[in-house]
Amino acid sequence: MSAAPTTTSRNERQPIHDNNGNGRVVVVGAGPAGLASAAELVRRGIRATVLEQATEVGWSWRGRYDGLRLNSSRPFSKLPGARFRRGTGIFPSRDEMVGYLEEYAVRHQLEVRLGTRLERIDRGHGGWLLRTSSGEISAGQVIVASGYAHTPFLPDWPGRDRFKGQLLHSAAYRNAQSLGQGDLMVVGAGCSGMEIANELARNGARRVRLSVRTPPNMLVRSPIGPLFARAILKLPPAKGDRLINAIRRKEIGDLTEYGLPEPEEGVFSRLKRLGVAPAIVDKETIQAIKDRRIEIVAGVESFDRTAVKLVDGTRIEADAVVAATGYRCGLEPIVGHLGALDQRGVPRARHGEAAAPGLRFIGFVPRPAQLGYIGGEAKRAATAIAEEMSG
């Protein structure tokens, strides 16, 4: 990269304190949602300060596994106002995504305060008071974009701590080589779980089991998949479910005999009820299931010293277990006391609407091709803030 983003490092920064900052706009998080929000504000002539707890922008992407490719294609994964670099693959890699985010911050000359963690938001005089790891900041407008996939969630399985094999969350998984070629298990059949299971099988593991509690809705990764999903989202969920199930039967076939029956609740009904997006999978992964190089087994009940016990009573010896068991938003300490969250800890206000005057959340609506969707949310929020500030 030729130029650095307008970032401020922990050492060179002055302590933040502003008792009269009600005109200030603060964005929390320098991931795709925070960067897009700040860029959309700049486009409307509003300067925003982005607070980022990590030492670099796009932190969550830097930590993802080596083989990760976006499951949404390039045109549906870009943020407003910038395409991916020429030569980027149709499903950009992790490193291409990190490079894109770095360039995005530079291109829009975003002011990012690195190494600054937001700890809590309270109502201030005519605005908001933000407690951060570097002091307090007052702001008239706040956009929280700290990530839906914020805190890795590892179920509290009985016996978990006694297990002598390796047990790690998918957020800590890097590559198949690091787990060896023994008996391996992946828990959870979302996008990451399916992809990691396939990587392990490809790397020549003796056995790969995929533990599944609830059969997932599945879609095959396709460059135009997000286009379909967006169109179908406009239909009533039941109708959308029927359409997607028909596509699934044609592209994937019936996986019942392998342990993955078609779920009773379809893609859009589940998305609406639980905020669970479907698993986007490659045909290669489906083939590995059909070849039984990935064996589907029941959900996990508990662990003992050397094995995993499943809910159907089976006991499986395993050298390593990757828990692709999802994330939590981790917003309770920050805004839990403001009544802005639902019972799952997800912001109630969606699509860039205000949760309270001057307080918005971006990036908390799970969608297929969420990156593209985030751009729309950022635009709506920036437009509303510009109107409020001018009027």
Minimum Å gap between C-beta 44 and ligand FAD is: 20
CA distance 6 to 19: 24
According to CB under 6 A, which residues from 359 to 378 bind ligand FAD? 363, 369-371
H or E segment and range at residue 144 = strand 141-144
DSSP 294-353: SEEEPPEEEE-SSEEEETTS-EEE-SEEEE---EE---HHHHGGGT-B-TTS-BSS-TT-
According to CB under 6 A, which residues from 191 to 220 bind ligand FAD? 192
Instruction: Give me the residues paired with residue 300 across strands.
Output: 310
Task: Give the N- to C-terminal CA distance of the chain in Å, as an integer.
Answer: 39
Of 5, 8, 25, 34, which one interacts with ligand FAD (CB under 6 A)? 34
Does the footprint of ligand FAD cover residue 146 (CB under 6 A)? yes
Return the sign of the alpha-carbon dihedral for residues 172, 176, 181, 182.
positive
Identify the three-state secondary structure at position 26.
Answer: strand
Minimum Å gap between C-beta 103 and ligand FAD is: 16
Comparison of 134 and 211: residue with beta carbon closer to ligand FAD: 134
Site map 104..123 versus ligand FAD, x via CB under 6 A:
-------------xx-----
Minimum Å gap between C-beta 191 and ligand FAD is: 6
Of 40, 52, 241, 377, which one interacts with ligand FAD (CB under 6 A)? 52
Comparison of 5 and 363: residue with beta carbon closer to ligand FAD: 363
DSSP 199-240: HHHHTT-SEEEEE-SSPPPEEE--TTHHHHHHHHHTS-HHHH
Minimum Å gap between C-beta 341 and ligand FAD is: 15
Identify the three-state secondary structure at position 117.
Answer: coil
Taking phi first (over 0 means left), then psi (-120 to 50 degrees means alpha), and beta for anything else, what does residue 300 get? Answer: beta
Does the footprint of ligand FAD cover residue 142 (CB under 6 A)? no
Does the footprint of ligand FAD cover residue 188 (CB under 6 A)? no
Does the footprint of ligand FAD cover residue 99 (CB under 6 A)? no
Does the footprint of ligand FAD cover residue 16 (CB under 6 A)? no
CA distance 360 to 337: 15
Minimum Å gap between C-beta 257 and ligand FAD is: 29
* Closest among 251, 61, 26 to 140, alpha carbons compared: 26
Does the footprint of ligand FAD cover residue 49 (CB under 6 A)? no
Piece in contact with ligand FAD (CB under 6 A), picked from 8-16, 142-150, 197-205, 307-315: 142-150
Of 21, 147, 240, 352, which one interacts with ligand FAD (CB under 6 A)? 147
CA distances from 209 to 196, 206, 319 (A): 11, 10, 12
Of 5, 7, 21, 31, which one interacts with ligand FAD (CB under 6 A)? 31
CA distance 277 to 216: 9
Comparison of 238 and 274: residue with beta carbon closer to ligand FAD: 274
120: how many CB neighbours lie within 10 A of its CB? Answer: 15
Does the footprint of ligand FAD cover residue 33 (CB under 6 A)? yes
Does the footprint of ligand FAD cover residue 60 (CB under 6 A)? yes
Minimum Å gap between C-beta 367 and ligand FAD is: 8
Tokens of 260: 């993955």
Which residue's Cβ lies closest to ligand FAD?
31
Minimum Å gap between C-beta 197 and ligand FAD is: 14
Minimum Å gap between C-beta 129 and ligand FAD is: 15
The answer to whether 138 and 18 have CB atoms below 8 angstroms apart is yes
Contact set with ligand FAD (CB under 6 A): 28-34, 51-54, 59-60, 64, 70-72, 77, 117-118, 145-150, 192, 363, 369-371
